[in-house]
Structure 1
């Protein structure tokens, strides 16, 4: 039975550790499998991460132990240092292309199909956006016998042209907690009225100032506005 996130969702730390192993296996194969120290460095990168995290070695090790128990990662013996590998595709029973998309969603947060295609360049080269969408649709329609859906298409964000996708490996997505997931609240009617009244007061004050200055100069307000430049 493949790993079922609906029965036992991954924690945020576990997802970050797992996705980092997946990333480094594809982008820096000469350094893979990873030592604990290298893994922590990868998890805490400032680039290509959303959100940015600051995992300690103890937190990363705890996540690795749980991933090992879930058969999503395993340790290999190095010369003197224990190294770690992911077992994502076998653990979930998904093809390479689907694994790439899920790994990117775990590392970078919700993305559109177009963004996923661009961000996947170093992992896997998709032919076009349609191929990305086909694998996303397959992941969304995954049967309960295989562990259920692994991604969800989010509601279109205000001002966005395309809908974003999110993974479900950490459980259901709280759409309200996502950046730009909901439109900015409109000002309350009484607040809007207060702003209008404040602006009207400012305009009235400026008019009074203009009137006073014109009186001191002995000119009519309208005449000052119509006088050609350089003439009194």
Structure 2
């Protein structure tokens, strides 16, 4: 199987939406394909997510638009609400087992082969850790003709017994951040989120100043508690 489209690096929000669809298709098939409300709740779960996100509906819709352009989702209009499904295996040209591992890495961040086997129980039952490692090795050694590597085996962390694996669907992994003890953060797609957060802060400050003016109170200066 070969990819149906040349897939660019995903934005973090696109990866979360896509992986959530992949998870729910396997763990709660009765609710799949998913409505927008169901998808929003799945993306913002506080458990089994790394990092935890708090996406707005507009952000999920924007991610769906991007994934649709890449041919990675499908949309149906049965019933009163639109429903969304994923086309991950078709888009990336990988078998089910590889798709499961990539979905888990998108949802939960870097993991060891043993952690992946355990976390995959509700998605797919791998016979043993060696079978997980075999699929990970295959994904890491993927040829350029097929789009190149989709995972990376990370350097062993200090004190760790096993090495973790990370996905490359959002672009290169920031190894410097990992070495400094930080989380693995994809380098692609951060600027738009920073800009959105700055705009939200500016909007909240304007609203606060308006409330203070209505109450006859001085607006807090930048940097004071309640100013940002």
The answer to whether the 8 A contact 1:44-1:53 is kept is yes
Q: Secondary structure at the match of 2:75?
A: strand
Structure-1 separation of matches of 2:49 and 2:6: 25
Deviation at 1:4, TM superposition (A): 4.5
The answer to whether the 8 A contact 1:151-1:166 is kept is yes
Q: Give the 5 Å matches for 1:42-81.
A: 42-81=42-81
Aligned alpha-carbon RMSD (Å): 1.4
Q: Give the 5 Å matches for 1:133-212.
A: 133-178=133-178, 181-182=179-180
Q: Secondary structure at the match of 1:71?
A: coil
Deviation at 1:182, TM superposition (A): 3.9
Structure-2 separation of matches of 1:166 and 1:97: 16
Q: How many residues align?
A: 180
Match of 1:9? 9
C-alpha offsets along residues 29-55 of structure 1, whole Å, 9 cap, x if unaligned? 000000001000000000000000001
Match of 1:114? 114
Decide which moves more: 169-178 or 91-100. Answer: 169-178
Structure-2 separation of matches of 1:12 and 1:183: 20
Structure-2 separation of matches of 1:142 and 1:105: 17
Q: Provide structure 2 residue ranges, at least 5 long, that are not aligned to the other structure.
A: 183-228
Match of 2:101? 101
Structure-1 separation of matches of 2:181 and 2:75: 45
Q: Secondary structure at the match of 1:107?
A: helix
Q: Provide structure 1 residue ranges, at least 5 long, that are not aligned to the other structure.
A: 185-232
Q: Secondary structure at the match of 2:107?
A: helix
- TM-score normalised by the chain length of structure 1: 0.75
The answer to whether the 8 A contact 1:4-1:148 is kept is no
Match of 2:41? 41
- TM-score normalised by the chain length of structure 2: 0.77
Structure-2 separation of matches of 1:124 and 1:142: 22
The runs of 4+ residues in structure 1 deviating greater than 6 Å are none
